[in-house]
Amino acid sequence: MKLRSILIASTIGLFLSTMVAAADYPKRTIGMMIPFSAGGGTDVPGRFFAAELEKILGKNVVVSNVTGAGGTIGATQLSKAKPDGYSLGFMPVGTTTTQPHIRKTSYNADSWEPICLVAQSPQYVVVKDDSPYKTTDDVIAKAKGGRLITAGPPPGSLPHLAQAAVAKAYGVKFNYIPHDGINEVAKSMLGGRVDMTVYYADAKERFGLRPLAILDANRSEVFPDVPTLGELGHPLESSVWFGFFAPAGTPEDVVSIISDACEKAVKTDSFVDNMKKAKRDVRYLNTDEFRTFFKNQYQQNGELLKEAGLVK
């Protein structure tokens, strides 16, 4: 009887301590891990988002860039962090839904509490601004000779899969050179060592990379003269999304508080304006919607990787 009372008291104590922790959250600095380099495609919207969370939650949100291995080094660290709401991650589709299938990482779809979807942007086929290639057909013509050099993040990343899909659609082969991030890719392109890559709408503004085609069903308002690949006879679509995650086991009440802050953050005028200036598309999904979306993406991308021969 005495042991039973102790167990009941312990359970009640744990429940009350969790409730108190949630009620007090946040009471100190929050860490936000971004698994790619500063200034890169994930870092830009991540820092916009962190700035809004700071104002809403009333605590500092410190961004840390943990790079390497297609984002898996940072994601692995985050998956092993204490699930208390003070270690969070702003991560893209590739790190969370493709790399686990390729690298057999220690994390998987069950390693996270998906909090919200923040942004989703289509990719473009791009070349350097003074490139002799004026159209996608020009690029493919060089690829048919086996001499086209392309680049992007490590194999299995979404840009890599997008380029593989383009090559397959046109029946050619790209000579793909993996890089650690877009800054390195841009240097290689501007230096004439790489002919083509895929990136977002801000590739021209940030790096002087000129879009030849958009990998989406519709033309973009940003580049209305740039055709879709569908218009060119190859209806391919590829977009990169960014979501906010907590390690699995983070208390439900804490997740709820972060989720509410997330919704407010993506709807602020300053966030929307910053994303618009950076030519990024805001797309919000709440916790329940994002959880379903994430699980589906994880499964679908695993199947795509198998079809591409990247996963046995």
CA dihedral 31, 32, 35, 39 (to 10 degrees): -120
Domain 2-119+241-307, CATH among 1.10.490.10, 3.40.190.150, 3.40.470.10, 1.10.940.10: 3.40.190.150
Q: Which CATH architecture has domain 124-214?
A: 3-Layer(aba) Sandwich (3.40)
2-119+241-307 and 124-214, same CATH topology? yes
Whole-number average pLDDT of the chain = 91
Who has greater pLDDT, 281 or 63?
Answer: 63
Query: Does 5 have pLDDT greater than 60?
Result: no
The whole-number pLDDT of residue 4 equals: 52
pLDDT digits (tens, 9 = 90+) for 75-101: 999 999 999 999 999 999 999 999 999
How sure is the predictor about 20, in pLDDT bands with cuts at 50, 70 and 90?
very low
Its sign, for the CA torsion 96, 98, 103, 104, is positive
Q: Which of 199, 214, 201 is nearest to 278 (CA)?
A: 201
Could you tell me the pTM of the whole model? 0.75
Which pLDDT belongs to residue 2?
52
Label residue 178 exposed, middle or buried (CB < 10 Å: 0-12, 13-18, 19+).
middle
Q: Is the pLDDT of residue 7 over 50?
A: no
Q: What is the pLDDT of residues 208-244, one digit of tens each?
A: 999 999 999 899 988 999 999 999 999 988 888 999 9
- Domain definitions of the chain by residue range: 2-119+241-307, 124-214
Q: Are strands 149-152 and 175-178 parallel, antiparallel or unpaired?
A: parallel
